[in-house]
Amino acid sequence: MKKSFSETQIIGILKEQESGTKVSELCRKHGFHDSSFYKWKAKFGGMSVSDAVRLKALEDENKNLKRLVADLNLDKMLLTDALSKKW
């Protein structure tokens, strides 16, 4: 069973650990694996909720820009291929 957590929930869990709660207790209380905790800590450690929201927005924008560049490159390849053929 996969349980997903929002950025605000993840940051709340990380703050609980910073206040002294053991990782194993957090895992049991919230229902996730300790490897997930350390991945979250690497990604969101030291962030506030507003920082995490901004990070998510930037990741989404980056994904859209990469898709746009890929589409433009495909269009360019098709056009150069069509123009290089002899009629």
Phi, psi at 52, each rounded to 5°:
-65, -40
- pTM, full prediction: 0.68
pLDDT above 70: residue 32:
yes
Contact 25, 15 (CB under 8 A): no
How far apart CA 32 and CA 30 sit, in angstroms, is 6
Note the Cα 35 to chain centre separation in Å. Answer: 16
Q: What's the pLDDT tens digit per position in 66-79?
A: 999 999 999 999 99
Mean pLDDT of the region 23-48: 92
